Amino acid sequence: MHVLVIGWLYVVIMISIVSESVLKGVVRFLFLGVIPVGLWMWFTLQKRRRQMEAAKLEAAQAERDDSIQ
């Protein structure tokens, strides 16, 4: 997944470099690169956090069930 992000940011940087002005390049880099990658990373980290919390909850339930028996 990281290779995909690095490749995408490389393409966006190249698009930004050939822009007509510096301002257009910065705007393109932000809206095509930074914002989408940031959102993707945030969603991915949230999903991992939820999975880790579910695993901890299952482990706690299993431990509780073992101590009851």
Q: What dihedral angle (degrees, nearest 10) is formed by the CA atoms of 58, 62, 65, 66? A: -170
Domain map (residue ranges) of the chain: 2-68
pLDDT-derived band at 69, boundaries 50, 70, 90? low
pLDDT-derived band at 51, boundaries 50, 70, 90? very high
pLDDT tens digits along 2-42: 898 899 999 999 999 999 999 999 999 999 999 999 999 99
* 49 token code pair: 């956090």
Report the amino acid identity of residue 9.
L
Three-state DSSP state, 27: helix
Measured over the CA atoms of residue 51, residue 54, residue 60 and residue 61, the dihedral's sign is negative
* 59 token code pair: 């482990």
